[in-house]
Amino acid sequence: MKSKKGLMFELLIFVAIIILLVYAFTVLYQKHGQFPPGYRIGDRQFSLMSAIQEAEVALFYVDQSADYMFDKSINELAKKGGIFVENNCGIFNGANVWYTVERADSGYRETDCFDDAKVQDNLKEIFDENLDAYLGDNPYNLPKNNYEYKVENSQITGFAKADLVIDIKRKN
């Protein structure tokens, strides 16, 4: 046999649910006739869900593109010897010059042409160029020149400057 206190709790819950349902019915009743023909309750929410889904696909596209382009940029930068813009020492046999070594009064004198402290910045530059080119014909209208980068040892983070905007379409 239920206790008196248990009955009180159930009653309290029952009353609360009744109040909620009555309130919901009232709200819906008031909205009746205000929607265009063919509109069904929840259409807008479904449209929003679709837009969110589309955005998620676009974000996945960006993630994957960044992944490919990071690999490509690492490879290209390595081929360029870590140098993005040709320096005064130039290029020899397709490779950027790290040192020039010339005969001097006593033996040889070398000139350092490669600042390895700039590699991170150079990677950002080459990555930005590659990503922008890759996203150039994307199907999601992703904004161009839209990133600021932070490179840490083993990761690159692209901070978007502008939002990706996706239309929430009307069903009717």
Under the criterion CB under 8 A, does residue 129 sit at the interface with other proteins? no
Q: Count the Cβ atoms, other than its own, within 10 Å of residue 156.
A: 20
User: CA-to-CA distance for 150 and 128, rounded, in angstroms?
Assistant: 11
Q: Which of residues 49-78 bind other proteins (CB under 8 A)?
A: 51-52, 55, 58-59, 62-63, 66-68, 70-72, 74-75, 78
Under the criterion CB under 8 A, does residue 141 sit at the interface with other proteins? no
Q: Which of residues 14-43 bind other proteins (CB under 8 A)?
A: none
Q: Which of 87, 125, 132, 151 binds other proteins (CB under 8 A)?
A: 151
From the list 137, 136, 144, 141, the residue with the least C-alpha distance to 167 is 141
CB of 109 to other proteins, least distance (A): 9
From the list 9, 8, 30, 27, the residue with the least C-alpha distance to 19 is 27
User: CA-to-CA distance for 128 and 32, rounded, in angstroms?
Assistant: 52
Q: Which of 10, 17, 26, 79 binds other proteins (CB under 8 A)?
A: 79
